[in-house]
Structure 1
Amino acid sequence: MTEFVLNSLGVVFLWFAIENCLRHQTAESLDDASLMPFADDPEVARRVEAATGKRIHAVAPEEPAKGWGNIEI
């Protein structure tokens, strides 16, 4: 019986902890967060936009400064 009560309290605590963490999130912010992994690759971002119809704010990766490329030693 004690084990059942402790397990139930653990589940309730986990539920309230997750609710507390996600309390201030909106549907739009959660949707933007789910698309973040595609934001650094413009080609993949275009494919995901075409597949889902959702706008991804893609950023082109920085080009290395001149003279800072691969150096063979």
Structure 2
Amino acid sequence: MAERIAFFTLIRERGATYTAQAVYLSAPAAVFFAVVFFGGATDAWLWVSLAVLLLALWLNNSGSAAIRPSS
């Protein structure tokens, strides 16, 4: 229940794009914690997929702000 409230609060406060990016980062964060706390094994594909994900998030955020026409 608390997770849903936090999710919808994040959408209301920051918007859908920011929330989607936070959701995309939750999976690599879970893998990181599994490696640190449980000694999980990693391979090259994990690091390649993490790099692609971070590149996609960077590209999404690096664009210029939308130009809004004046009325």
* TM-score for the superposition, normalised by structure 2: 0.31
* TM-score for the superposition, normalised by structure 1: 0.31
Q: Which has the higher helix share?
A: 2
